[in-house]
Chain A
Amino acid sequence: MAGALILAALGGGTVAVFIALRLWVVFHHQVVPRESLSLLVVAGSGGHTTEILRLLGNLSNAYSPRHYIFADTDEMSAHKIRSFELDRAERYSSTVYTTDRIPRSREVRQSWLSTVLTTLYSMLYSFPLTFRLKPDLVLCNGPGTCVPICLSALLLGILGIKKVIIVYVESVCRVETLSLSGKILYYLSDYFVVQWPTLKEKYPKSVYFGRIV
């Protein structure tokens, strides 16, 4: 009886230490410079997609291939992304991109508790998808859709499958306060970019380059 308890404790302790170590490795990972990075881009509704496409317009072709993920109910984003990539194909010869959809993790004005449940549900889709794509970098700018994806990317790191760099760019709309996704991902992202100096003061670990969209 006592033996079983001791074994259970040892087992539990080992798992805990393992997870702690993995978390430490994930959060203290040194960025290795490389020639190209595959991107996973999270597109949200309306303005979020417009902003992230403006951001992508400034990135070099080293950020290739680009995998876009958006909510299954979002037709407008699908259309904008197609136009953006067609345009890009005219300027850069080797342009590769894919699109995938996942269930929306949160409708506007949805209650907090049901949001947790729908986010977990979204993870059932976003984790296998992130696992399949294994991007080098996840880029997102705030829609609820990005939380399950970033959590999935973190999980890939924790499980030792792949270290995925998470870059969160807060919307240019956010001058004084962070969005809900921002407040969550401030602690989980590798680079948290804000576009106004007030936010840089309030959130010292963030990165500020001025307006980048």
Chain B
Amino acid sequence: MKCLFVTVGTTSFDDLIACVSAQDSLQIIKSLGYSRLVLQIGRGTVVPEPFSTESFTLDVYRYKDSLKEDLQKADLVISHAGAGSCLETLEKGKPLVVVINEKLMNNHQLELAKQLHKEGHLFYCTCSEKPLEHFKQRNYFMHASWAVTVNGLINTEMFSSWPARKIFYIFG
């Protein structure tokens, strides 16, 4: 049962939620073999109606104490460009697709998304580029599911092998 997890952290990212839960997007998601879509909507004002059919389930919620479980169960994660969301997802070795929120002023999140993309850890785009069609056309989802077995693991190893050193010895 393939699961797609969408997260916006503590922010409000109505454009992404609306885009992913639109009928044509749901069609694309189903056609790629996903039978479950979980939307973590944060402070957003767009609240799609959850539903459950034989072949597909849509879950919607605002916050959870920890996203660990949802990240664990996900086969692919679509996220806003927040550092916390990106780091948590990549540390779990999950393929990650980042959507930039163009409505954020002086979009510093873009810097991190670009850098992580340069280093091969994720793919990114903006909402106006119609993320799901964009990715489907470029076969990113195919890459993503392949990535989790080979590239994703290698890339997240590179990522997590950077020194996360303790800083106490400098000051103490």
Residues in chain A within 8 A of chain B (CB atoms): 31, 33-35, 37, 45-47, 50-51, 54-55, 58-60, 62-63, 76, 83, 108-109, 137, 165, 167, 171-177, 179, 191, 193, 196, 207, 209-213
Contact = CB atoms under 8 A, between A and B. Distances in A.
A166 B10 CA distance: 28
A76 B10 contact: yes
A48 to B, nearest CB: 9
B150 interface: no
A144 to B, nearest CB: 14
A177 B166 contact: no
Interface of B: 9-11, 65, 82-84, 87, 105, 108-109, 111-112, 114-115, 162-168, 170-172
Given A34-B172, A171-B83, A174-B111, A46 B167 contact: no
Secondary structure dominating the interface of B: loop
A207 B163 CA distance: 14
Contacts of B167: 55, 58-59, 167, 193, 209, 212
B83 A51 contact: yes
- Most chain B beta carbons < 10 A, residue from A171, A179, A209: A209
A34 B172 CA distance: 6
Given A62-B168, A109-B105, A172-B83, A47 B10 contact: yes
Contacts of B162: 210-211
Nearest to A59: B168
A65 to B, nearest CB: 15
Nearest to B81: A173
Given A175-B112, A177-B111, A47 B163 contact: no
A6 B109 CA distance: 57
Contact of B163 (A137, A176, A177, A210): A210
A179 B164 contact: no
B114 A175 contact: yes
B99 to A, nearest CB: 16
Contacts of B163: 209-212
Given A34-B172, A108-B105, A212-B167, A176 B10 contact: no
A63 B76 CA distance: 38
Contacts of B105: 108-109
Contacts of A31: 171
6 residue pairs, one from A and one from B, having the closest CB atoms: A46-B10, A50-B84, A210-B163, A175-B111, A175-B115, A211-B162
